[in-house]
């Protein structure tokens, strides 16, 4: 798999029928190793190992309903009170993080109303904090540590 702009981590992998699977520590199962999954697993490991996000407060492939349609967020982070606080969207390393990617995560946020949105293709990472009251946002210089996202509005 491609080298990402994240620290290098060790993963449990296995091959079956010519396909490689990677163990997802959050879902507790092996999943197909695609370029997007490689980004997701590395980024989640980064959150867990470097930024102190509790594994029990992360959900992968989190199902939501938007405009009566079932959608899945790549990952959602919850507060210690069980409230969603961040949506994460992952793309393969060769996918440009365009306005369409941000539009997708903003649509997902209609269902959850989180304060933080993050997108990554493993090479570039963006995180913004939303100001719902003033209907504005600002990009952060880095992905915040877990404790920083606990004090957002409405938590």
Which domain CATH number covers 132? 3.90.1570.30
Report the predicted TM-score, pTM, of the whole model to 2 decimal places. Answer: 0.93
Q: Do the Cβ atoms of 79 and 85 come closer than 8 Å?
A: yes
Give the model's pLDDT for residue 150.
79
* Domain-embedded: residue 129: yes
Domain of 139? 35-149
Rounded Cα distance between 141 and 145, Å, is: 12
Instruction: Report how many domains make up the chain.
Output: 1
Q: Residue 10: inside a domain, yes or no? A: no
Phi-psi region of 100 (alpha: psi -120 to 50; beta: other; left: phi over 0): alpha
Q: Is residue 71 part of a domain?
A: yes
Instruction: Tell me the per-residue pLDDT of 78-132, one tens digit each, with 9 for 90 and over.
Output: 999 999 999 999 999 999 999 999 999 999 999 999 999 999 999 999 999 999 8
Q: Mean pLDDT, the chain, as a whole number?
A: 94
Summarised one tens digit per residue, pLDDT across range 11-46 is: 999 998 889 999 999 999 999 999 999 999 999 999
Residue 132 pLDDT: 86
Q: How confident is the model at residue 152 (pLDDT cuts 50, 70, 90)?
A: low
pLDDT of residue 95: 96
Query: What's residue 16's pLDDT?
Result: 85
Contact between residue 59 and residue 78 where contact means Cβ atoms under 8 Å apart: yes
Question: Is 4 within the bounds of a domain?
Answer: no
């Amino acid at each position: 798999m491609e080298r990402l702009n994240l620290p290098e981590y060790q993963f449990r992998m296995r091959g079956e029928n010519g396909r490689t699977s990677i163990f997802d520590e959050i879902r507790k199962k092996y999943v197909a190793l695609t370029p997007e999954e490689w980004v997701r697993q590395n980024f989640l490991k980064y959150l867990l190992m470097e930024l102190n996000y509790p594994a029990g407060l992360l959900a992968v492939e989190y199902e939501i309903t938007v405009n009566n349609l079932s959608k899945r967020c790549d990952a959602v982070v919850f507060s210690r009170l069980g409230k969603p606080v961040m949506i994460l969207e992952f793309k393969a390393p060769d996918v440009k993080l365009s306005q369409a990617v941000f539009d997708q995560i903003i649509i997902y946020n209609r269902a959850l109303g989180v304060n933080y949105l993050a997108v990554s293709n493993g090479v570039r990472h963006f995180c913004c904090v939303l100001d719902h009251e003033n209907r504005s946002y600002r990009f952060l210089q880095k992905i915040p540590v877990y404790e920083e996202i606990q004090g957002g509005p409405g938590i």
